[in-house]
Structure 1
Amino acid sequence: MTYLARQRCKLLALIGVFAAPLLAAWVMVELRIGIPDSKTAHGQLEPDHPVFEEWPVSSVTLNGEDWMLVFDCSIDCSQQADRWWRLHRALGREAPRVSRLRIGGDAGEALPGEQRAQWTRTPEWHSEGQVWVLDPEGKPVLSYSSDVSTEDVLDDIQLLLETNPEPPGGADR
C-alpha cells in the first residue's frame, strides 16, 4: 500500500469515527430503536388549576420556600394522613424542603410537620382523596387520584427536588 493510500484510509477512518454516532442516532430516531417509551411523571400535569392562594380553604400560612404535598382527607382520613407522613419521612434529608397540608377530615390531632385546613366550598376540580404537589410559589404541578401508589408520588417528588436544587442559603434553615 502506498503512502497516499494509507493517508486516505486514515482520513476515511477519522471521518467514520465522527459520522458513525450521527448515523446511529438518526437510525434510532427514524426506526424507534432503543428509545424508551416510559414517561417521567406518574401524576397529571395541572397547568389550569388556580394558585394555592385562590383555593377555597381556611387560612393556611405558606412558607414560600417549600414544595407542598396537599391531600384531601375526606375518605379514610387517618390512613391517608399516615400514608403521606411516611412518604414525607422517606424523603430523608430532603424532607425539610417539603411541607404537608391536610384538607378536610376529622378534627383529630395533626401528625408532626402537618398543617390542617378545611374546604370553605368544594371547587369543581376537586375529587375525594385527591393529592396535589405544589411548587414553592403555590402553583399546582401534579395531581394524583386517590388510588395512586405512594412509591409513584415519592418518585415524582424526588425527581422534582433533584431537578430544582435548593436555593443558596436554603441549607441554613
Structure 2
Amino acid sequence: MGTVMNPSSTSDLKAPQGRGRGRLQLLLILLLTIGPMILATGMYKYQFWVPDSRIYHGELIGNGQNRTDLGVQADEQRWQLLVSAPNECATDCQQLVYLARQIQIGLGRDASRASHALAVGQALASDYQAKLAREYPQLQRYPLDLSQYGRMSQGKPDAQLWIIDPHGNLVLRYDARANGKDVLNDLRQLLKLSNIG
C-alpha cells in the first residue's frame, strides 16, 4: 500500500513559489509605471539622451519663469503674444507689435485662444499711441518693470516677442528679426498640444 500525501502539505510546498511569482509581477508592474517617470525626470534634470534637433524656432524658456518675472503684471487667461521693449517702442518694437497682431489673425478659428500685448518701459510717443488706439483696438498695454525685465532679457535692449501660456508661464522668446511664419507655426503647435486656454 502506497503512502498518500496529505493535500494540505502539497499546497504548503507550492505557496512560497507562488508568493515569489506574485512579488515579481508586482515589482514589474511598479517598474513599468514608475520607471518612465523616473527616467524622464533624470533626463530633464541631468540633460542626458536629450535630442539635439528641435521643432520650435524661438528660444525655449523652460525654467518655470512667468510673466511677473518678466516685469509685467497682467491677468490674461489666454495664450499671449507679448512684445516687450525696455526703452521707447522704436521701429523694431513697432514691427513686432504688427507681427503679433498678424500672427493672432493668422490663427484663424483659434484666434480667440490668443491675445496680443505690448509692455514698454517708457511712455509711448503720442502719434504712435494714437495709431495703436486707432489700428490695434484689441492690443493690451502694460507698464514694464525695468528692474525685473533686466534680469530676464539678459541685458538685451532690443524689443522681444514672447509666447506666454494661459497660466502666465514664459514659453518661447524671439528677437526683433523673428520670422512671422515660424512664430505662427510654433504657436499653432502649442495650441494643438495644449488643452488649456
TM-score bucket of the superposed structures, by smaller chain: 0.5 to 0.7
1:116-155 mapped onto 2 (5 Å cutoff): 116-121=141-146, 122-126=149-153, 127=156, 128-155=158-185
Q: Taking structure 2 as the reference length, what is the TM-score of the superposition?
A: 0.57
Give 2:100's aligned residue: 84
> What is the match of residue 23 of structure 2?
none
Distance in 1 (CA, whole Å) between partners of 2:96 and 2:114 is 17
Unpaired stretches in structure 2, ≥5 consecutive residues: 1-51
1:38, CA displacement in angstroms?
Answer: 5.4
How many residue pairs align between the two structures?
Answer: 128
Task: Detail structure 1 runs of 4+ shifted over 6 Å in the superposition.
Answer: none
Separation in structure 2 between the aligned mates of residue 45 and residue 80 of structure 1, nearest angstrom: 18
Query: Gaps spanning 5+ residues in structure 1: where?
Result: 1-36, 168-173
* 2:79 equivalent among 39, 48, 67: 67
Tell me, in whole angstroms, the C-alpha distance in 2 between the residues paired with 1:166 and 1:54.
Answer: 21
Among 48, 55, 74, the alignment partner of 1:40 is 55
Deviations 1:72-131 (A, max 9, x none): 243314333222211111111101100111111625034132100121224222232211
Higher helix share: 2
Structure 1, 145-154 or 79-88: larger mean CA deviation: 79-88
Q: CA deviation at 1:49?
A: 6.0
Paired with 1:98 and 1:142, the residues of 2 have a C-alpha distance of: 14
Q: Which has the larger radius of gyration?
A: 2
Q: Structure 1 vs Structure 2: percent identity of aligned residues?
A: 27
Take 2:138 and 2:90, find their aligned partners in 1: how far apart are those partners? Answer: 21
Q: Within 1, Cα distance between the matches of 2:70 and 2:196?
A: 26
